[in-house]
Amino acid sequence: MPSFLVYGNDFLVSQEVQQIETNHQAQDILEGNKTVFDSSNFNLSDFQQVAQALPFMDTIRLVILEDVIKNNTSLSDSIIQKIDSLPESTLLIIKERTDKINASFTKSSSTTLTIKKLSGPRNGRELLQWIKEHSLKHNISISPAGISALADHVGVNLWNINNELEKLSLYSQGQQITDSDVKELVYSDEDVNLFNTIDAIIEKKRAIAFHNINSLLNNGHDTSAIIRLIGRQLRLIAASKFLSSSGASHTQLKQQLGITSNFVVDKVISQSNQLSQIQLLFMFQKLVETDQGIKTGALDQTIALDIFLNQVT
């Protein structure tokens, strides 16, 4: 079994580690066969004992070192000496979220150690290219103008870009994401994030929900977009509750809901666990009444949303 040293950009390193686990069928092993050491709990003797042990009822024992070696030369040398003697059943992944790594590893003569350095975009042009390639990889359609708008709003934080793309993909429902979508739904650090507002509503965080909704309205954001997104999330939650009650697995939930992201589906599952069927139906009813009241002119949009928030949070 090969060992891996993966270092560089935090997001890219985490994605690569997930891919390695998938490639070696290590993502579904028993909990007792996976051990994670970090700088706070690493001990060379404990590491050696765990890494040399054979897996229980699995073919693989997964050992992950997170930010353990850094620039510690003596520790790096000690770990390198153990790598080639690991059992064939041990999959060792050394995960370092830094661009600088000890030369003992990068120049290692180990026959089983694969080294991967993953650097993030270094300038605006590379960031635009990364967003384009990342979107294609995950079957997310976004216009060139949308890519530019996303880069301008989010910057070089790949975690945030990935999360915003997932949210935009849910919102667009298969349609191409445009720069208008980005400007409507993705805000810079000083703006209120619309999706956080929806989370606050569903999770009944009244004070946060009131503050965010009023800020969005005061800044000229469209009421219909807010209502549409709340409705979309409620439909996902309703579907999740039904599928879960039918015994659907996590993978089946993702497929049935049309969601490719674990982050998003976990959020939906979490929210569905917080709402009973009666509460969910009540929120749907009040959302429809709010939408009708605004569209017919019976209620001012600010008053209508205030009433909705009072009713559901």
- At 274, which CATH number? 1.20.272.10
Q: In sequence order, what are the residues at sequence separation of 6 or more whose Cβ sits closer than 8 angstroms to the Cβ of residue 278?
A: none
pTM of model > 0.85: no
Q: What is the residue-averaged pLDDT of the chain?
A: 85
d(CA 267, CA 250): 12
For residue 62, is pLDDT > 90? yes
* Number of structural domains in the chain: 3
Q: What are residue 54's phi and psi, to 5 degrees?
A: -80, 150
Clarify whether residues 107 and 134 are in a common domain.
Answer: no
CATH of the domain at 131: 1.10.8.60
Confidence at residue 189, expressed as pLDDT on a 0 to 100 scale: 44
> Is the model more confident about 146 or about 156?
146
Clarify whether residues 199 and 297 are in a common domain.
Answer: yes
Q: What are residue 187's phi and psi, to 5 degrees?
A: -120, 155
Confidence at residue 7, expressed as pLDDT on a 0 to 100 scale: 92
For residue 243, is pLDDT > 60? yes
Clarify whether residues 175 and 243 are in a common domain.
Answer: no
Q: Kindly state the DSSP code that residue 32 receives in the 8-state scheme.
A: G
Clarify whether residues 9 and 126 are in a common domain.
Answer: no
Structure-token pair, residue 188: 């810079």
Range of the domain at 274: 192-313
Clarify whether residues 215 and 308 are in a common domain.
Answer: yes
For residue 103, is pLDDT > 80? no
Clarify whether residues 26 and 130 are in a common domain.
Answer: no
